Structure 1
């Protein structure tokens, strides 16, 4: 029993060490850090002042309030998907090979990457929410609702990060990881309730959008934020939209349940090669 506890403690320590390494890498690159900070601010301002003044909701609600949950989710999911790029770069540079010869818990290599990305994404989301508040977005659900909505988005982003790990271990280089890790996000974002109410989509496309995991995340976060704008449009009565928060959590768990074992097997094969 004592040995088992000691082993878990050793693995946790390794995860924390590698998480710190990845975060320090970001801090040691001022230009990358600057653009990392600018990106979420730019996203919020562009969507609020460009798209936010164009679209009108069927119920006459504030489109900016409706839009922000989609902007938050898009930015964090895109950033989480970039996990594939970072891991592929580490493989190319031989960093993973060096880790394998160190006395590290094998699981800590992948966990350290995903946990560091979770911390980074949390900082990005906090920046976006602060900027959104400054330009008029509000979370009627209060601080608790805002924190719960952000936690839902972050949990899903963490799940997507494991998809990024799986992709990063499957492609030959970082260039391929860029395409494979980001391209699939576009159709998911636009065939969802992120930017437009579902009734505005063609009839044959609505069921796809309703069962889209990003629709569940965005609708669930709106629900937790207390946003009423467009509520009639995104609460259409279908199972995923009637319970968007639960659906989003189940989607995230399903993604993790599939991607973690696959990523683990791929990493084990690399370790044996």
Structure 2
């Protein structure tokens, strides 16, 4: 006795419901994998916590902030944004592992939405990022960081941080689909440091050489960091001497991630569809 062949929905509304259901199933699968791999979760969350303690206490005493503000309050928004960008490496390795094990081939053999796998992986990563930002938020409060903005401003800052993580996740998804194997993911973390260091994450861009400061000011990470500082009410407000993206940080913290997703979403979906060809 053979199982009946599943019928793929044909109408537009039915296909949307089908895609949403498949996406949620894939999201739950990745969340279950995370729950069964506590070492990955702990490792992902431990790095930003250690970084907060290291930079906040070891280096913080030797770094001054414009206006003589608290360096920890200046630092934390940058650390939040840095952690969001570091999600690229973890996502890429997870996707490359699935490709190497043939998991995606099995998904492609099933009657399911083509976009469900990539969107489901992204949704799971964003949910995981909420856990990361919550832990960092609490850790920041423990070491003396405070937010001084209104509830709506604080919520908007957290939303912009998660939007950056969403964009970074699509980059990681595409990179994971083109890697030759999960072992290749080891080169990603060293490549992430220039992206996160050539920004206003740890020091003001005004303190950098002119050419390097210009690069940092146009770094999408800098816009999110500046927007978070502004909305949290932390030191480090952009001066009139910096580039336009930092003078309009909240706007660009929204625009940059949307531009990144507009580029990498179709690339990732197309690459996924071509995997078995």
For normalisation by structure 1, the TM-score amounts to 0.92
Q: CA deviation at 1:130?
A: 0.9
Question: What is the CA–CA distance in structure 1 between the aligned matches of 2:108 and 2:238, rounded to whole Å?
Answer: 53
Q: SS at the partner of 2:210? A: coil
Which one of the candidate residues 197, 205, 228 is aligned to 2:204? 197
Q: Deviations over 1:187-246 (max 9, x none)?
A: 12111111011111012222111111111111011111121x12255x535311110111
Match of 1:184 in 2: 191
Distance 1:210 1:243 in 2: 11
CA contact (8 A) 1:169 1:267 kept: yes
The answer for the alignment partner of 2:12 in structure 1 is: 4
What is the CA distance between 1:186 and its match in structure 2? Answer: 1.3
1:44 is displaced (CA, Å) by: 2.2
Say whether 1:230 aligns with 2:240: no
Unaligned runs of 5+ in 2: 1-8
Partner Cα separation in structure 1 for residue 161 and residue 41 of structure 2: 22
Q: 2:104 & 2:78 partners in 1: Cα distance?
A: 35
TM-score of the pair, normalised by structure 2 = 0.91
CA distance in 2, matches of 1:189, 1:31: 24
Displacement of 1:178: 3.2
1:59 to 2:67 alignment: yes
C-alpha distance 2-107 of structure 1, shift in aligned 2 (>3 A)? closer
Question: Is the contact made by 1:82 and 1:182 (CA closer than 8 Å) also made in structure 2?
Answer: no
Question: Where do 1:64-213 residues align within 5 Å?
Answer: 64-179=72-187, 181-213=188-220
1:49 counterpart residue number = 57
- Whether 1:263 aligns to 2:268 is yes
Of 229, 242, 250 in structure 2, the residue corresponding to residue 245 of structure 1 is 250
RMSD: 1.8
Task: Mark the CA change 1:9 to 1:163 in structure 2 (over 3 Å): closer, same or farther.
Answer: same
How many Å apart are 1:159 and its aligned residue? 0.5
**1:145: Cα distance to partner?**
2.2
User: Using the alignment, how far apart are the partners of 1:254 and 1:183 within structure 2?
Assistant: 24
Cα 1:33–1:208 change in 2 (3 A) is: closer
Mind listing any 5+ residue stretches in structure 1 that lack a counterpart? none
Moved more, 113-122 or 24-33: 24-33
Residue-pair matches, total: 269
Contact kept? 1:81, 1:163, Cα under 8 Å: no
Contact residue 14 and residue 105 of structure 1 kept, 8 A: yes
Q: Distance in 1 between matches of 2:45 and 2:113?
A: 32
